[in-house]
Amino acid sequence: MVPGVMLTLSAKRFTLNLINMFKLNLKIALRNLFKNKIYAAINIGGLGIGLTAFVLMLLYINHEESYDTWDPALKNVYQIRERHNFFTPDNKEHLQESNESRVANLIRQKVPQVIAVTKVDPDWDFRTGNSVKIGNADPITVYRMKDADSSFFHVFKYKFLQGSENNALKAPKSVVLKQSLARKIFGEGNMLGKVIKVVAWQGDEGTDLTVTGVIEDPETPETAGFTAIMRTGNKDKDPDNPTNSNYCQVYARVNEEADPELLNQTLKKVYVDYKKSTAPLRKIDYKSYFANGKYLQLKAIPLAEVHGNRPFEISWLEKLKPVIAICVFLLLVSIINFVNLATAQSVQRAKEVGVKKVMGAYKQQLIGQFLLECALQSMVALFLSVILIEVLLPWFNTQFHVELSFWHNANLFNILLQLLGLFTLVTLLAGFYPAWILSNYNPASVLKGNYSGSLKGIILRNVLVVFQFIISVTFIIAISVMHLQTNYLYNKDLGFERSNLINIRSGYDQNLAEKIKRIPGVQYVATTTQVMGNAFNVPEEIEYNGNKISLNTVTISMDALSALGVKLLKGRVFSKEYKQDTVNTVVLNEAAAKLIDKNPVGKSYKIIDQDRTFNFQIIGVIRNYHNEGFDKEVLPTLYKVTHLGGTSSTNNLIVRLNSDKSAAIIEKIKAEWKHAYPDFPMEYTTLDSAFDKVLENNRLFINMIMLFSTVSVSLSLLGLFALSTFVAKRRTKEIAMRKILGASNVQIVNLLNKTFLVLVIIANLISWPVAYIVVKKWLNGFAYRIDLPLYPFFLATVISIIIAVLTVSIQARRAALANPVNALKYE
């Protein structure tokens, strides 16, 4: 025979043999699984649940990572951020997404790398709805329609289904719709040239816009998301008066070669020059830009980095970190179950290992066999989790306000790759140690029969059980503390009466306000720049007794404080009886009073504006009331009445009802509204729901922790249950002997409990400090919080001990009640 042929023949035989071996091992694996059905179910089910949580988290991360990836060319797009203190929550300077509108032109003219620049509306939470009217149909509210200048589609290269990038926004009064919106308002067909009337606020007469384009909805989410881009013309020009400014977002597309570093250097120079040259026009001393540690900054942020790093927001990754930790722990708990049960079971497999070794099996072959068994189980677990995810995803999406998808994901290939990686990782984590232990059995001692005393395996198993219980106990402590804190927040005195109070999205219209006031059941109609759900902070520097103090200013109408139901501490609130109340009196909140004077009522302070001085008299002090999340302290604030009753852009028309039939009254208010503004639907929120919204993130977070901890605790217990079964089984002979020697059932149950009890107590001792640190850190995120109570710690300990003892006792009792003769005869 030719050597080559021989070689291929033996190679063929070799592969055939491998396949046969693989088949046989697979069969053994399956038979073992069937033999130990319950443990296999616990193993696989637990792992499936652990994987589900982990994969959901992966999907979420993928979703967040996919922001602004719908076009490869977006790598040349930058968001411009300017540093200023306009509209910041703490009234201090920050690098912000909104820029003074002139920045756009500045960049267009002075920065050579830039190809196109566009100005576009920012996302306002409370005022994004536009009323859209087509013909004589009833108006509908459309959210996230944004006004932009003509360059928008030169920066963001969307795919045009109708119209074209170059012509779409060429003329003012045009609008480009996303396909999803176009379908909703027009259905199918050609929409170019159709006219829609867009009403931006109730008093707006409306603008007729011609549809000049329809673009495809991108597959991945966008930072600068919108449903339609309008060119009303407002963004075309900057204000003529140099002391006036508009704020908007600015995006720029740069050429391929542009270097980000260099771009930012150019921006900085151009910006500083610009500020210097315009300072005299604005009647501002250029040096004041640098007073009190302030400085000038204009920065281009690559679009890819924008979503993960937004001003005034904790980045999604930062927010997700606790969830990532929890998912990892959950997966670990299920892997630990796996490892523990596998090593406990390994005693049953010892003989097989011994025999195979004397038949001439290599150690690697045995490791391979056991890893294969583990891979089989993780594969089933993975399929299970994919099914679970399909089932759970809709619920998960509504519960946590996300739009995740699995099979329809744009990144499906990537996700499948990640799953493959996860599968390998889990298989190795769960399978390697048991495989290694098993394949290391010494055949001589195994075949002699004394293979049970693998002490190393037992120590590791105990460590893992302790670890599992640390996780569970920490979870129990964390959820009880979170529960207490949430209760505290829900029942916290907000400083105003939130029930029977609604906030209509509208400025103060004297006529309408009067009409609403006449409706029976309406007590007050007022407006304010600061109410929970929509607070607008304006910084102001006052001078009191020669000290300069920075305060937050809130402008309100006469009735606003009464309408809110705030608590007066000293002096009085505003009232019609006092003429000067619309001119130069103010009310302070407690925080502001603390900064100014112990007894401020009746005293005056000064405001110096350029070269004029105004005097204000303090007439009262009210309790601090909350208008933002509980993570922030209430700002020191002064309240002023303006003759207009608030500013027109306030968009808070608050109505206090003094009747139980609020639904009926709201209907009446709606009717009045429709009468006044037929083209603009009324939008309102109750302060109760505004409050819920403030607590929503917190609520979601706690719900998630609750869910995950319940799952993790149950998985740990399932694991303990299975483990104790094994231990009881392994000690059957010992138990039988002891019974014959006269041990009572109780003594035997105690015998088995003792081992686990020690473990659980050790776990408790370790988890106390861990939980203390974790929970303390979480509580510190709240400006208003409970003192860390001790009893959740005791509670967790008691619960964990009771549950562990119960679980083990069920098994131990069974072992103890069994007839000793059976056990001994069998051996």
Chain positions contacting another protein, by CB under 8 A: 13-14, 16-17, 20-21, 24, 27-28, 31-32, 35, 351-352, 354-363, 365, 443-444, 447-449
The dihedral sign for the CA sequence 654, 656, 661, 665: negative
Residues 6 or more apart from 671 whose CB is under 8 A from it? none
Tell me how crowded residue 415 is: count the other CB atoms within 10 A of its CB. 18
Residue 545's beta-bridge partner residues?
A: none
User: Minimum CB separation from another protein for residue 351, in Å?
Assistant: 6
Burial annotation 671-693 (CB, 10 A radius, 16+ → b, else e): ebbeebbebbbbbbbbbeebbee
Question: Is-contact 563 609, C-beta < 8 A?
Answer: no
Q: Which is nearer to another protein, 17 or 180 (CB)?
A: 17
Distance CA 436, CA 340 (A): 14
Distances (CA, A) of 151 to 119, 215, 239, 709, 812: 8, 15, 19, 50, 76
Distance CA 345, CA 435 (A): 11
User: Minimum CB separation from another protein for residue 360, in Å?
Assistant: 3
Tell me how crowded residue 331 is: count the other CB atoms within 10 A of its CB. 24
Cα 819–Cα 825–Cα 827 angle in degrees, nearest 5: 115
- Which letter does DSSP use for residue 245 in this model? -
Residues 6 or more apart from 613 whose CB is under 8 A from it? 606, 607
Q: Which of 620, 650, 621 is nearest to 556 (CA)?
A: 650
User: Minimum CB separation from another protein for residue 20, in Å?
Assistant: 6
**For 11, what's the count of Cα atoms within 13 Å in the CB-facing half-sphere?**
6
Q: Which is nearer to another protein, 68 or 373 (CB)?
A: 373
Distance CA 184, CA 199 (A): 18
Distance CA 87, CA 100 (A): 12
Distance CA 215, CA 175 (A): 11
Q: Which run of H or E residues covers position 301?
A: strand 298-302
User: Minimum CB separation from another protein for residue 361, in Å?
Assistant: 5
Q: Which run of H or E residues covers position 746?
A: helix 745-780
Strands 140-142 and 130-133: antiparallel
What are the E-state strand segments in 612-708?
A: 612-622, 637-641, 653-657, 684-686
Question: Is-contact 204 129, C-beta < 8 A?
Answer: no
